[in-house]
């Protein structure tokens, strides 16, 4: 419930088990839902599992809560939510570079913008040592709320007294007391960041200049075509446990370092780190060297990179970057599929194709006594969400509460079902990064992702059960069409898929699954990627 309050819309409360007394299974489902939802908003949860929450391990629980609170506090610090932030930049500033700024850097930029206008001579570079004396806060509040900022605050020589006065002034702006004067003087970074974010939320002091806002809105419209894919890639990369945190895929991959980190995760040992340059990278040719190594490794892994060169990544070619990232996901999932095949059928098992996913889903629903069926991953009838609710119920009968399901006829009913599907899938143990709109609009890639994630959970639950494995089927016309559609969207070849390409098309569908599962020797049952509490 804390999660629901902090980040509204991430969890559908109808999916939460709310009985007064929960059995271990129900409690575990709630924890699994929490962890998978945390992944979906950008939290790093690689080293925390449901058992850690059950046992209440302080450092892990507090770490997760602090990430959720931080995301909530910084939610408006981007140009899409607050277009007026463009005021902080010159008109000549590359808008893509602006979009790549992390919320923390944007907040610092905002703070320094007002401090400079107020006559503060220093630059604040962090939320700890640079604000310990409280002087920057006094200048900031004087600039934003002069009616609540007496001169005595700046004249005070005692840092403790100044910190106390600063907090009193902030309270007049309705800022909640997240910290004490001691937290300011001791330089508590997280609490000071939360404090500045609160000031921003209540009074950002930015204008709504028409020219500036128009510039931002134009850039946002240009970016919207790839925004959902960018979001999915961003959350997937951040879920891998790489050292770097991605705020904007198309900008953050341009120096090649993040892509090298991802390659090292999905193919350990493939990166020659002696030839790689770690950010910050000032020399352009060093970025190109990183990106050239990315392309070289991709070719060694048999990726289709005919039209991609290292310079395309450096230049931020979105279409080609998308094509590369899809293939990284494909390679990742091939490891998962080979492992599942080995555990279920031994060396005789064949690679699973997207046609097998379709057949598996239809057969599971049919076996449960339902009559729904999807003809393809573009089937418009899927927009009401009923098929996926029946599929989720088929793999785990108790997970769907049919009393809260709508008929999915009106647009609002479709959205209610789609939102519920995502939370139920996460509650089950699926790591999914799609949005309700992807289901409503029947986004083929995301539909593949959702179906395959449910399939993976089901197969992983009983890896030895032959009945769980789909019967191998010959590639249908649907398979070829689907593969062609995906390839053409990503800038890849649109020729008829070979056997290996059909396997790759399945990897598209299961791109939401983590690398840790793929590289482990046994199916994982924690962190929301396996059977939680089974």
Distance set, CA 438 to CA 232, 293, 391, 446, 448 (Å): 11, 34, 17, 6, 11
- Angle among Cα 329, 534, 7 to the nearest 5 degrees reads 60
Give me the pLDDT at residue 191, please.
Answer: 93
Give me the pLDDT at residue 533, please.
Answer: 34
Give me the pLDDT at residue 342, please.
Answer: 65
pLDDT band at 5 (very low <50, low <70, confident <90, very high): low
311-320 pLDDT, tens digit each: 999 999 998 9
Give me the pLDDT at residue 49, please.
Answer: 93
pLDDT band at 138 (very low <50, low <70, confident <90, very high): very high
CA distance 364 to 304: 34
Is the Cβ–Cβ distance between 471 and 449 less than 8 Å?
Answer: no
pLDDT band at 484 (very low <50, low <70, confident <90, very high): very low
Give me the pLDDT at residue 468, please.
Answer: 53
Residue 14 has pLDDT above 70, yes or no: yes
pLDDT band at 230 (very low <50, low <70, confident <90, very high): confident
Distance set, CA 181 to CA 158, 160, 163, 164 (Å): 11, 6, 5, 5
Residue 220 has pLDDT above 50, yes or no: no
Lowest-confidence range among 128-132, 142-146, 444-448?
444-448
Phi, psi of 401 (to 5 degrees): -95, 100
Q: What is the DSSP string of 78-138?
A: STTT-GGGGGGS-TTS-HHHHHTS-HHHHHHHHHHHHHHHHT--S----SSGGGTTSHHHH
Tell me what the mean pLDDT of segment 32-58 comes to: 91
Give me the pLDDT at residue 341, please.
Answer: 66
Tokens of 49: 């599992």
338-376 pLDDT, tens digit each: 666 666 665 556 767 788 889 999 999 999 999 999 999
Give me the pLDDT at residue 496, please.
Answer: 34
Domain ranges within the chain, ordered by starting residue = 2-73, 83-202, 226-326, 351-519
Tokens of 430: 């699926």
73-86 pLDDT, tens digit each: 998 998 778 888 88
What percent of the chain is modeled with pLDDT above 90?
54
Lowest-confidence range among 149-153, 244-248, 471-475?
471-475
Lowest-confidence range among 88-92, 145-149, 155-159, 293-297?
88-92
Q: Considering the domain 83-202 in this protein, what is its CATH number?
A: 1.10.418.10
CA distance 329 to 390: 27
More confident residue, 518 or 286: 286
Residue 192 has pLDDT above 80, yes or no: yes
Domain covering 226-326, topology: Actin-binding Protein, T-fimbrin; domain 1 (1.10.418)
Homologous superfamily of 351-519:
Calponin-like domain (1.10.418.10)
Residue 208 has pLDDT above 70, yes or no: no
Domain covering 2-73, topology: Actin-binding Protein, T-fimbrin; domain 1 (1.10.418)
Average pLDDT, whole number, for the chain? 82
Give me the pLDDT at residue 481, please.
Answer: 41
Give me the pLDDT at residue 207, please.
Answer: 82
Give me the pLDDT at residue 429, please.
Answer: 93
pLDDT band at 510 (very low <50, low <70, confident <90, very high): very low
Give me the pLDDT at residue 326, please.
Answer: 81
Scored b (16 or more CB within 10 A) or e, 415-450 reads bbbbbbbbbbbbbbbbbbbbbbebbbbbbbbbbbbb
Lowest-confidence range among 79-93, 149-163, 287-301?
79-93
Placement of tokens 């004087």 in the chain: 142
More confident residue, 487 or 246: 246
Give me the pLDDT at residue 276, please.
Answer: 98
Residue 211 has pLDDT above 90, yes or no: no
Distance set, CA 44 to CA 36, 65, 67, 278, 424 (Å): 10, 11, 8, 21, 21
Tell me what the mean pLDDT of segment 150-157 comes to: 86
More confident residue, 207 or 51: 51
237-294 pLDDT, tens digit each: 998 889 999 988 999 999 999 999 999 999 999 999 999 999 999 999 999 999 999 9
Fold equal for 2-73 and 226-326: yes
403-458 pLDDT, tens digit each: 999 999 999 999 999 999 999 999 999 988 888 999 999 988 889 889 988 988 88
Residue 91 has pLDDT above 70, yes or no: no
Give me the pLDDT at residue 53, please.
Answer: 92
Number of other residues whose CB lies within 10 A of the CB of residue 114 = 22
Q: Which of 140-154, 264-278, 506-520 has the largest mean confidence?
A: 264-278
CA distance 512 to 434: 9
CA distance 223 to 396: 39
pLDDT band at 479 (very low <50, low <70, confident <90, very high): very low
Lowest-confidence range among 11-25, 478-492, 511-525?
511-525
Q: Which are the contacts of 34, defined by CB distance < 8 A and separation ≥ 6?
A: 3, 11, 53
Tell me what the mean pLDDT of segment 127-138 comes to: 95
CA distance 38 to 162: 37
Element (H, E) at 294: helix 284-300
Distance set, CA 247 to CA 169, 382, 422 (Å): 33, 31, 23
Q: What is the DSSP string of 427-490?
A: HHT------HHHHHTT-HHHHHHHHHHHHHHHHHHSTT-GGGSPPP-PPPHHHHHHHHHHHHHH
pLDDT band at 223 (very low <50, low <70, confident <90, very high): low
Residue 301, classified by CB atoms within 10 Å of its CB into exposed (0-12), middle (13-18) or buried (19+), is middle
């Amino acid at each position: 419930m804390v999660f629901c309050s902090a980040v509204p819309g991430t969890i559908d409360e109808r999916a939460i088990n709310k009985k007064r007394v929960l059995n271990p299974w129900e409690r575990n489902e709630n924890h699994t839902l929490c962890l998978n939802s945390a992944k979906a908003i950008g939290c790093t949860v690689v080293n925390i599992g449901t058992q850690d929450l059950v046992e209440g391990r302080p450092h892990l629980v507090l770490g997760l809560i602090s990430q959720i609170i931080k995301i909530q506090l910084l939610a408006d610090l981007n140009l899409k939510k607050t277009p007026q932030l463009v005021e902080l930049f010159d008109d000549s500033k590359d808008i893509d570079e602006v979009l790549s700024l992390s919320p923390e850097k944007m907040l610092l930029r905002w703070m320094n913008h007002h401090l400079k206008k107020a006559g503060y001579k220093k630059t604040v570079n962090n939320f700890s040592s640079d604000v310990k004396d409280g002087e920057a806060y006094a200048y900031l509040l004087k600039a934003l709320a002069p009616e609540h900022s007496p001169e005595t605050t700046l004249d005070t020589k005692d840092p403790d007294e100044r910190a106390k006065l600063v907090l009193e002034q902030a309270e007049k702006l309705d800022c909640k007391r997240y910290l004490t004067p001691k937290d300011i003087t001791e330089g508590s970074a997280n609490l000071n960041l939360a404090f500045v974010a609160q000031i921003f939320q209540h009074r950002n002091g930015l204008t709504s200049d028409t020219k500036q806002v128009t510039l931002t809105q134009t850039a946002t419209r240009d970016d919207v075509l790839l925004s959902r894919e960018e979001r999915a890639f961003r959350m997937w990369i951040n879920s891998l446990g790489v050292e770097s945190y991605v705020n904007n895929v198309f900008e953050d991959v341009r120096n090649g370092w993040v892509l090298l980190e991802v390659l090292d995760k999905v193919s350990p040992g493939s990166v020659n780190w002696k030839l790689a340059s770690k950010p910050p990278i000032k020399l352009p040719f060093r970025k190109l060297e990183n990106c050239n190594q990315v392309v070289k490794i991709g070719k060694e892994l048999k990726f289709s990179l005919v039209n991609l060169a290292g310079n395309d990544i450096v230049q931020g070619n979105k279409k080609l970057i998308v094509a590369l990232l899809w293939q990284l996901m494909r390679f990742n999932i091939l490891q998962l599929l080979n492992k599942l095949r080995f555990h279920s059928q031994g060396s005789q098992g064949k690679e699973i194709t997207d046609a097998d996913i379709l057949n598996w889903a239809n057969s599971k629903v049919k076996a449960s006594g339902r009559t729904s069926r999807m003809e393809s991953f573009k089937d418009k009838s899927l927009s009401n969400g009923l098929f996926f609710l029946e599929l989720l119920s088929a793999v785990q009968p108790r997970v769907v509460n049919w009393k809260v399901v709508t008929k999915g006829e009106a647009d609002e009913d479709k959205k209610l079902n789609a939102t519920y599907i995502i939370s139920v899938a996460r509650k089950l143990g699926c790591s999914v990064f799609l949005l309700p709109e992807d289901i409503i609009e029947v986004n083929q890639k995301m539909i593949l992702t959702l179906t395959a994630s449910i399939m993976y959970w089901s197969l992983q639950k009983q890896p030895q059960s032959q009945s769980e494995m789909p019967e191998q089927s010959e590639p249908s016309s649907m398979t070829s069409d689907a593969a062609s559609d995906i390839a053409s969207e990503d800038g890849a070849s649109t020729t008829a898929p070979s056997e290996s390409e059909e396997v790759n098309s399945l990897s598209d569908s299961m791109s939401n699954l983590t690398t840790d599962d793929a590289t482990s020797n046994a199916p994982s049952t924690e962190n929301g990627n396996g059977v939680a509490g089974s």
